[in-house]
Amino acid sequence: MTWPIQSETMVCERTGIVHHITVATPTRYDAKPDGRWPVVLTMDGAWLFGTTVDLVRLLAMERTVEDAIVVGISFAETDMMEYLRMRARWFSPTPFVPPPIIVSGVDADETGRALELADFVEHQVLPWVDASFRTTEGRTLIGHSFSALWGLRTIFDRPLFDAAVLASPSIWWDDASVLQFAETAHAQRLYLTAGEEENVAPFNMIDRASALASELDQRDGISATYETMLGEGHSSNAMVSVSRGLRWLHSQNG
């Protein structure tokens, strides 16, 4: 069977950037006209939306996660290299030129626009989702690499998400500049990861993510944890982390 999926093209009113919004509703959505579901949102919709939908549906059947309305946000750019540049520009917290090994062709004055993208999500995407689908107040963010970095900057700034799975967050960006905003955090449950193969200089994914999770977990009202995914590299860590992270969040929910 296939999951009911709807798509929408949305232009950011502030920046003019075109985004694809994709929504998958639960299999029981039409059969339960009075039903309402929480939202699980991934900013890397181009490659994590399908994975997240499949995992939510399968794990909900065994009741290790709650079924949900899954939303994916993607840039409309079709060229892969330019798509990667868009991620560096719009997911980053501060102006900085990333190392060419990560992405090339990006100037510092183009980057550091994470909160502009957060405004788009807050004022256009989420109101549209809430108006178009039967949602509850619960919202979970799924992020990987740069989109996990965006997740941290957004969570440090505003209460858009109750929970987050942040795989291999690019905390290294601009000498870990995102940490200057970490005095406040607005999500109650945070699951951070890195792959076993990722703790290499200058990125030091394991050291940075584990230290941040430990620091956040000491705060009142926040449950945060970190896990190293054995045998995983940067890309492969994304899928494993979504599965384990969704289950951990569910275990912490009451």
Using pLDDT thresholds of 50, 70 and 90, give the confidence band for residue 4: confident
Apex 144 CA angle, 248 and 8, nearest 5: 100
* Res. 8 pLDDT band, cuts 50 70 90: very high
Report the percentage of the chain scoring pLDDT > 70. Answer: 98
CA distance 170 to 12: 25
Rounded to an integer, the average pLDDT of 19-25 is: 97
Confidence class of residue 174 from pLDDT cuts 50, 70 and 90?
A: very high
Cα(93)–Cα(178) distance, integer angstroms: 6
Position 51, amino acid: T
Average pLDDT in the 23-33 region?
94
> Sheet containing 135-144: which strands, arranged edge to edge?
5-11, 18-24, 69-75, 37-42, 135-144, 163-167, 189-195, 223-229
Alpha-helix runs per DSSP H in the chain: 45-61, 80-90, 114-120, 126-132, 146-157, 173-176, 205-217, 236-252
Question: Residue 185 maps to which CATH number?
Answer: 3.40.50.1820
Q: Which range of residues forms the domain containing residue 104?
A: 5-252
Phi, psi (5° rounding) for residue 203?
Answer: -85, -45
Number of domains in the chain: 1
Whether 2 has a pLDDT exceeding 80, the answer reads: no
pLDDT score at 240: 97
pLDDT category, 3, cuts 50, 70, 90? low
Check pLDDT > 80 for residue 26: yes
As a whole number of angstroms, the distance between CA 88 and CA 95 comes to 10
Distances (CA, A) of 181 to 60, 193, 210: 35, 20, 17
pLDDT tens per residue, range 187-211: 999 999 999 999 999 999 999 999 9
Tokens of 40: 């699980």
DSSP of 112-171: --HHHHHHHIIIIIHHHHHHHS-EEEEEEEEEETHHHHHHHHHHHH----SEEEEES--T
**Would you state the structure tokens that stand for residue 235, as one six-digit string?**
């890309």
Q: What is the pLDDT of residues 132-154, one digit of tens each?
A: 999 999 899 999 999 999 999 99
Question: What local confidence, expressed as pLDDT, does residue 254 receive?
Answer: 60
pLDDT tens digit string along 52-101?
999 999 999 999 999 999 999 999 999 999 999 999 999 999 999 999 99
pLDDT at 232: 98
The CA-based angle 23-157-141, given to 5 degrees, is 25
> 22 and 6 in contact (C-beta within 8 Å)?
yes
Q: Look at residue 253 in the predicted model and tell me its pLDDT.
A: 80
Per-residue model confidence (pLDDT) at position 1: 58
